[in-house]
Amino acid sequence: MRVSRLLLVTLRDDPAEAEIPSHKLLLRGGYIRRISSGIYAYLPLLWRVLQKISTIVRQEMDATGALETLLPQLQPADLWERSGRWAGYTAGEGIMFHLTDRQGRELGLGPTHEEVITALAADLLRSYRQLPVNLYQIQTKFRDEIRPRFGLMRGREFIMKDAYSFHADEDCLRQTYAAMDGAYRRIFQRCGLRAVAVEADSGAIGGSASQEFMVTAEAGEDLILTSADGRYAANQERAVSRPSVALPLAAAPRAGGVGDRLSTPGQTTIEQLCSAHGFDPSQLVKVLLLLARFADGQFQPLLISLRGDQQLNDVKLANAVSARLSGAHGALLSIDPLTADLVRSERLPLDLSEIPFGYLGPDLADQTLAPDPSHRSDTAGVAPPTTPAVQLTRSFLRLSDATAAELEAFVCGANAADHHRVGASWAGLGLQPESLDLRAAQSGDRCLHDPDQCLQAARGIEVGHIFQLGRKYSEAMEARFTNESGVDEPLWMGCYGIGVSRLAQAAVEQHHDADGICWPVAIAPFAVIVVIANTQEAIQVELAESLYAELTAAGLDVLLDDRTERAGVKFKDADLIGIPWRVVVGRGAAAAQVELVRRAGREKLELAASDVRATLEAEIGREIAGATLVA
């Protein structure tokens, strides 16, 4: 391809809309253009990158025996109603674009394909003899993201490889999951990315085990925690660690007591309490008052106890709450602090004026949630307005993190303004807390697998995620097969995603310098750019043309910069768009000498034009092989 024909439009200044390096460089290099928020045109250069990534993905997926397919993006609502996800994905904060067709049928634009594939599996799969099977596709996904961000990093329309496997039993699912783990490692390796596999929360997709693949980069949206020995890595949402040892309370209290009352006026925070009375935060139990909302309209107040020096992990909390109540009330929609503002905006029949915020203890009585009498008289005898009746549970769901539950004696609020209790115990308060893990693991915490190892924090861009779904969808959608004994049972499922367009940008985020992109050769739009330093010199043009023809004939992806620009312009553009190898045909052309420059390291080599092809083939071959073999 000739640069003069490439529609190469590069920008000298950083566009105002871009914040992070990869986004700026993709815009400046003429790789993408924004059409609307979170919606991008992939220009010819980027399309070549995406095709190269897709090819690698295909090769590795095919090598595991997976079958490529292509599923519809327009999906009927009833499929999603059968899985129980239509409401959650379309209402409120739901991310599915949806529409009504001319017949009044509801359709959604596919954000993911569990429903479609499971319906297909129910149709096609009948016998254990057909199993296992793994179907994948590479296509555009649509998600009405709450906040699109950073160009291709979080778009409302993006390219994804998604795969879905079906199995006769859980053991077989585990094998395919492991095979996908291997394939993913090879894919990212071959794309030239430094990626780490981390334990993950399975989120809205559901299911049991799941693992994310993170490209480490400052601009990453996720926080990951890893141990230096490489044996543990997890998303912070999921990460576990050893809490520090709590300091015992100095004045040993009576065993099983409720503690001594302590006057603490105005001391509503952990810091104030500790500095006023010399407590250590680990001697305190802090109590959070929250409100969970469910798909069926039910509200459930939560009373969460944590040791004073620990932070709540809201993903762990959401999982714990879902596990207890989603069976009865459907999906957990949100958990928010229970405040006067929330009561007002949700029109809850609650009066929080008696709740002593800042002085809560784990034994706060359910009666504090009694309905507000004034509210009752307001609405007595009046037909309720258009809003449906609020369903509110009038007792707390009480959950305690293990660090709090294990304290023998602690300081906590007295459930009365301006007072705390010192030396309280769970038995004394009449509570028997379950020991849950609700706390956020943090950088510096000691690891479970080895107390000598500490967790380190890094930021990451999630480029892949693999799940063992189990039978969640096959049960909901009645995708069943006949097993060896002739008995019908639901299929076991796994699903496996790679954000292809996100991966392209993540590669830029990881491979760039002050002058532009430094693509790994495996996914670069072109491997080589031949630059004619001065197009007025016929001898340079002639040599460059013959090199271009030779390299192209050798099967390399070659760009010929034949523009009549000055050399400096062409060098700047070549650096910006990040072609891994540059061949400069300039002053040495008369002697058939050219210069070979590696983009990433700037190494230069003067060599005979006749040696260029062999040198490039060796260098590129070495890089590709290196990326393939290391595993």
Scanning 123-131, 422-430, 585-593, 620-628 for contacts with RNA by CB under 7 A, the matching segment is 585-593
Question: Contact, 520 vs 581, CB < 8 A?
Answer: no
Closer of 32 and 412 to RNA (Cβ):
32
Q: Determine the distance from the C-alpha atom of residue 35 to the mean position of all C-alpha atoms in its chain, rounded to a whole number.
A: 24
- State how far the Cα of 467 lies from the Cα of 173, in Å rounded to an integer: 10
Rounded to a whole number of angstroms, the minimum distance from the CB of residue 222 to RNA is: 5
477 interacts with RNA by CB under 7 A: no
Binding RNA (rule: CB under 7 A), the pick from 364, 412, 558, 576 is 576
Q: Which of residues 176-235 bind RNA (CB under 7 A)?
A: 203-205, 212, 221-222
Scanning 65-73, 357-365, 384-392, 560-568 for contacts with RNA by CB under 7 A, the matching segment is 560-568
- State how far the Cα of 506 lies from the Cα of 604, in Å rounded to an integer: 27
Q: What is the DSSP letter of 31?
A: S
Mask: binding to RNA, 23-52, rule CB under 7 A, as x and -? -----x-----x-xxx--------------
Residue with tokens 């029949």: 349
* Half-sphere exposure for 496 (CA within 13 Å, toward CB): 27
- State how far the Cα of 100 lies from the Cα of 77, in Å rounded to an integer: 10
Closer of 227 and 540 to RNA (Cβ):
540
12 interacts with RNA by CB under 7 A: yes
CA 41, 45, 51, 53 torsion: positive or negative?
A: negative
Scanning 155-163, 284-292, 519-527, 623-631 for contacts with RNA by CB under 7 A, the matching segment is 155-163
State whether residue 496 is helix, strand or coil.
strand
Contacts of 327 (CB under 8 A, 6+ apart): none
Scanning 126-134, 138-146, 414-422, 451-459 for contacts with RNA by CB under 7 A, the matching segment is 138-146
499 interacts with RNA by CB under 7 A: yes
Rounded to a whole number of angstroms, the minimum distance from the CB of residue 335 to RNA is: 9
Closer of 285 and 518 to RNA (Cβ):
518
Question: Contact, 148 vs 37, CB < 8 A?
Answer: yes
Binding RNA (rule: CB under 7 A), the pick from 82, 149, 375, 459 is 149
Rounded to a whole number of angstroms, the minimum distance from the CB of residue 253 to RNA is: 38
- State how far the Cα of 594 lies from the Cα of 596, in Å rounded to an integer: 7
Binding RNA (rule: CB under 7 A), the pick from 16, 382, 487, 631 is 16
Closer of 146 and 276 to RNA (Cβ):
146
The pairing of strands 558-561 and 528-532 is: parallel
Binding RNA (rule: CB under 7 A), the pick from 309, 561, 562, 573 is 573
14 interacts with RNA by CB under 7 A: yes
Residue type, 195: A
Closer of 351 and 545 to RNA (Cβ):
545
For 103-142, the DSSP string reads TS-EEEE-S--HHHHHHHHHHH--BGGG-SEEEEEEEEEE
Rounded to a whole number of angstroms, the minimum distance from the CB of residue 399 to RNA is: 18
* Phi/psi-derived region of residue 416, left when phi > 0, alpha when psi is between -120 and 50, beta in every other case: beta
State whether residue 174 is helix, strand or coil.
helix
| Total residues found in the chain within this entry | 631
Closer of 260 and 595 to RNA (Cβ):
595
Closer of 279 and 571 to RNA (Cβ):
571
Q: Which of residues 95-114 bind RNA (CB under 7 A)?
A: 95, 112
Residue type, 514: A
Number of chain positions touching RNA (CB under 7 A): 69
Rounded to a whole number of angstroms, the minimum distance from the CB of residue 391 to RNA is: 21
146 interacts with RNA by CB under 7 A: yes
CA angle centred on 275, ends 269 and 277, rounded to 5°: 100
Question: Contact, 83 vs 477, CB < 8 A?
Answer: yes
Question: Contact, 393 vs 298, CB < 8 A?
Answer: yes
Closer of 4 and 244 to RNA (Cβ):
4
Rounded to a whole number of angstroms, the minimum distance from the CB of residue 463 to RNA is: 5
Rounded to a whole number of angstroms, the minimum distance from the CB of residue 17 to RNA is: 4
CB atoms within 10 A of CB 405: 21
- State how far the Cα of 161 lies from the Cα of 68, in Å rounded to an integer: 10
Binding RNA (rule: CB under 7 A), the pick from 282, 588, 616, 620 is 588
Residue among 121, 124, 128 at smallest CA distance from 485? 128
Residue type, 542: E
Q: Is the peptide bond before 76 cis (omega within 30 degrees of 0)?
A: no
Mask: binding to RNA, 61-90, rule CB under 7 A, as x and -? ------------------------------
- 543 token code pair: 């040599």
- 63 token code pair: 């090598």
Closer of 369 and 532 to RNA (Cβ):
532
Binding RNA (rule: CB under 7 A), the pick from 59, 208, 334, 391 is 334
In 330-424, which ranges are continuous DSSP H helix? Answer: 340-346, 373-379, 402-405
Rounded to a whole number of angstroms, the minimum distance from the CB of residue 491 to RNA is: 20
Rounded to a whole number of angstroms, the minimum distance from the CB of residue 18 to RNA is: 7
Scanning 244-252, 263-271, 409-417, 461-469 for contacts with RNA by CB under 7 A, the matching segment is 461-469
7 interacts with RNA by CB under 7 A: no
Closer of 19 and 434 to RNA (Cβ):
19
Closer of 19 and 271 to RNA (Cβ):
19
Q: Which of residues 502-541 bind RNA (CB under 7 A)?
A: 502, 515, 533-534, 536
Residue 572 burial (C-beta neighbours within 10 Å; 0-12, 13-18, 19+): middle
Rounded to a whole number of angstroms, the minimum distance from the CB of residue 151 to RNA is: 8
- State how far the Cα of 459 lies from the Cα of 225, in Å rounded to an integer: 9
Rounded to a whole number of angstroms, the minimum distance from the CB of residue 539 to RNA is: 12
Backbone angles phi, psi at 473, to 5 degrees: -80, -35
- State how far the Cα of 521 lies from the Cα of 341, in Å rounded to an integer: 55
Residue among 19, 170, 81 at smallest CA distance from 477? 81
Binding RNA (rule: CB under 7 A), the pick from 584, 609, 612, 616 is 584
Chain residues binding RNA by CB under 7 A are 10-17, 19, 28, 34, 36-38, 93, 95, 112, 143, 145-150, 152-155, 158, 160, 203-205, 212, 221-222, 314-315, 318, 334, 462-465, 497-499, 501-502, 515, 533-534, 536, 566-569, 571-573, 575-576, 584-588, 595, 597
